[in-house]
Amino acid sequence: MQDSNRRPASAGTNYNTNSGSTSRPYNQARPQASRYGSSKSRSGSFGGGSRFGGSRGGFGGRGGFGGGRRPARNVRGAEYIDESKFVKKAIEVKLQEAYKHTFIYPELKVNSALKGNILKKGYNIPTPIQDQTIPLIMEGRDVVGVANTGTGKTAAFLIPLIEKINNDRRQKVLIIVPTRELAEQINDELYLLTKNMRIFSVRCIGGNGISGQIRNIRVGFNFIIGTPGRLKDLMDRRILNMAVFQNIVLDEVDRMLDMGFVDEIRNIISLLPKEKQSLFFSATVDNKIDALIRTILKPDYKKVSVVQGSTSQNVNQDVVYFKDYEEKQTKLKDLVQTKINQKVLVFVNTKREVDRLDKMLYESKFSVDSIHGDKRQTMRKRAIDNFKAGQTDILIATDVAARGLDIPKVALVINYDVPNNYQDYIHRIGRTGRANEIGDALTFVRKSI
């Protein structure tokens, strides 16, 4: 059975103070619902590992916690970011000029089943990126879509491609993404948009058993959604034949190039048919992406850009100063205490620090979970699903979660460690202030001595 044929698992505060918190004690926070069948113990196991045993190195020592004015010393190639870039007031949503859309979803000329699924999701008026790209994709044009995070890029390419497959069942789509989490998210969206349409997908990602993916591919599919590494593995095993795909989508292209996947992407695309429809979606476009675009897309491709500034205009940004590691931990607990029963996303630079903070907050009775690259995919998916559903208040993550994830109503993003570059900062804070809501982002900065 293919993935899309079944239901996926399920401003005003001054932060630059040195005083202690006057909020209620930590042990009055909502207790965490255990992932392991009991909320009374943290020592239960999942798949043979302890709750905090997901990464190498354990909890020994405090080295590499970072968070100062300069990036953590163990991160090679990290750039210095002036702290003034972390301070900015949100622009009131009501002052932003309303976008004038060219169509509404109830009038979109697509299959009735697809239209019904679109409306069930609550879509009525398209976002700017959807409004400008869906008609072009439905015309068969190659498209480069550039838009801020959280603006609906996924639906912008899925809706016209689903309609294309519905009209011609021979069509197959390859969607390449940088992370497993983004693949899961796209697959979940695809499931909801293709209910009762007998359109099937296979997720091809690391962290999940490859044998099941191979079986699903052999049964048949309309969409393949995968990460470059797993796609290469399936190609090397002669399971995936690139010649069968008439459509390709590269989502979060800038992230894939940052992660060093350019050679894998070029190799995959070189094996695709000459006649195909190619779609690129990204939050930014630089010279490297332009070079890739020129070699892959048709000369008459259309570029649609609806970027509204270098960072989200809906996010209040500020810094939190600390003098040492103990004060840094205390201030983190103070901050998340003020957001009890709201979603708080905490970013750090290392897997070890993710586990350390997860353990510290869990033992302080906060509702917390965490994800990073060494955790099993089942644990990462469960953590994200629980956070999305509001079953967990705090999610601690490395930058594996910084791009592409659509997590609704994140009230606060905390950069517990200064990100390695400004582009990562932009994508981290893009997890809040979505869907025309105001969000907050705070960055921990070590005091100068």
CA distance 170 to 245: 9
In the DSSP assignment, the letter for residue 123 is -
Residue 77: phi and psi, rounded to 5, are 80, 5
CA-only gyration radius of the chain, Å = 22
Structural domains in the chain plus CATH codes = 46-92+311-446 (3.40.50.300), 98-305 (3.40.50.300)
What's the gap between Cα 10 and its chain centre?
Answer: 17
Instruction: Return the beta strands (E) in 227-272 as ranges.
Output: 247-251
DSSP string, 328-378: HHHHHHHHHHTTTTSEEEEE-S-HHHHHHHHHHHHHTT--EEEE-TTS-HH
* pLDDT per residue rounded down to tens, the chain (449 residues): 455 543 333 333 444 434 333 333 333 333 343 343 333 333 333 333 345 544 433 333 333 333 333 333 344 456 778 887 788 887 654 445 677 899 999 999 999 999 999 999 999 999 999 999 999 999 999 999 998 767 889 999 999 999 999 999 999 999 999 988 899 999 999 999 999 999 999 999 988 889 999 999 999 999 999 999 999 999 999 999 999 999 999 998 888 887 888 889 989 999 999 999 999 998 878 888 888 888 889 999 999 998 765 556 789 999 999 999 999 999 999 999 999 899 999 999 999 999 999 999 999 999 999 998 888 888 888 999 999 999 999 999 998 765 556 788 999 999 999 998 887 888 888 888 876 788 999 999 998 76
What's the gap between Cα 378 and its chain centre?
Answer: 16
| CA-wise closest residue to 323 among 17, 5, 7 | 17
- Counting runs of H as helices and runs of E as strands, what totals does the chain give? 13, 15
CA distance 89 to 95: 14
pTM: 0.70
